Amino acid sequence: MANELDKLLECIEEEGGFIYACTTAHRGSLETLEDGMKSLSERTRVWKVITFIAFITYILGYLQRILTGTFWLLIASCPSANFLY
């Protein structure tokens, strides 16, 4: 029985055997999957950059509103700013 199992294993492992047939049959599917993953990775990277830019733009607008309000508050509270009244 050991000899038969050895022969079966040799048939599976030899070129053109079962392992070779299985990997060859799925090569096209794997290449398509890899291409899809590369495309998804690129789109994800671009989306992260766009999201980061939008976040920074929002924060800068918020800071600008705060600083503008603070500026006018300081001007209004300054005693020498009577020309505003």
- 14, amino acid identity: E
Total structural domains within the chain:
1
Length of the chain: 85
Under 8 Å between Cβ of 17 and 11: yes
Confidence of residue 9 (pLDDT cuts 50, 70, 90): confident
Q: What is the pTM for the complete model shown? A: 0.49
What mean pLDDT comes out for the span 69-85?
Answer: 67
* Residue 10 lies in domain: 2-84
Confidence of residue 38 (pLDDT cuts 50, 70, 90): very high
**Close Cβ partners of 75 (under 8 Å, ≥ 6 residues apart):** 81, 84
